[in-house]
Amino acid sequence: MHGLLVALKTVATRARLAAGRERRDIQHTARVDKTTIHRFEDPTNPAWPDKLPVLMTAYSRETGRPLIDLWQDALDQWQENEGTESPQRTGVGPTPGGPFRPAPAAPPTAGTRRARRQRQAGRQDRPS
């Protein structure tokens, strides 16, 4: 899913630059800290912003482009670059022609194993 995020960041940044707007304009409209805009426009930052709808709306207002157009451009770009982040590399997600593979579960901790043993012991102690 990071491919879509990178596409959103790229489209938003290009729209801002094409409109001659600065990051502080987006910051003011979205009412967020300047580091939020900096992190959002950084294509190497893999974190999804907490206020993505607010940010995208601010980019739309400041650039004069309809919000749906920004999203559509990002989706189009993501679709064009879909092969760059394939499930085969990550090992998670849908594979072409195959079922969805969830991420592997974390190994149980000592506390989890202890609780499991206690539950099992409790079942054995109960009369039938």
The first and second tokens of residue 33, run together, are 């800290």
Q: Hey, what long-range contacts does 62-70 have (CB within 8 A, 24 or more apart)? A: 62/16, 62/19, 62/21, 62/25, 62/26, 62/29, 63/15, 63/16, 63/18, 63/19, 63/21, 64/19, 65/15, 65/19, 70/8, 70/11, 70/12, 70/15
Q: Looking at the predicted structure, is the pLDDT value of residue 9 above 90?
A: yes
Identify the CATH class of 2-86: mainly alpha
Mean pLDDT value of segment 116-123: 77
Q: Looking at the predicted structure, is the pLDDT value of residue 116 above 60?
A: yes
Quote the pTM value. Answer: 0.63
Q: What is the pLDDT of residue 28?
A: 95
* Sign of the CA dihedral with 79 first, then 81, 86, and 87 last: negative
Mean pLDDT value of segment 16-23: 94
Q: Give how far the C-alpha of residue 56 lies from the chain's centroid of Cα atoms, to the nearest Å.
A: 14
Query: Which residue from 77, 70, 8, 68 is spatially nearest to 43, judged by alpha carbons?
Result: 8
Binned at pLDDT 50, 70 and 90, residue 105 comes out as low
Residue 75: strand, helix, or coil = helix
Which of the two residues, 20 and 104, has the higher pLDDT score?
A: 20
Domain ranges of the chain: 2-86
- What distance in Å separates the CA atoms of residue 39 and residue 34, rounded to the nearest whole number? 9
- Between CA 76 and CA 87, with CA 47 as vertex, the angle to 5 degrees is 55
Which of the two residues, 57 and 98, has the higher pLDDT score?
A: 57
Q: Looking at the predicted structure, is the pLDDT value of residue 125 above 70?
A: no
Mean pLDDT value of segment 55-70: 95
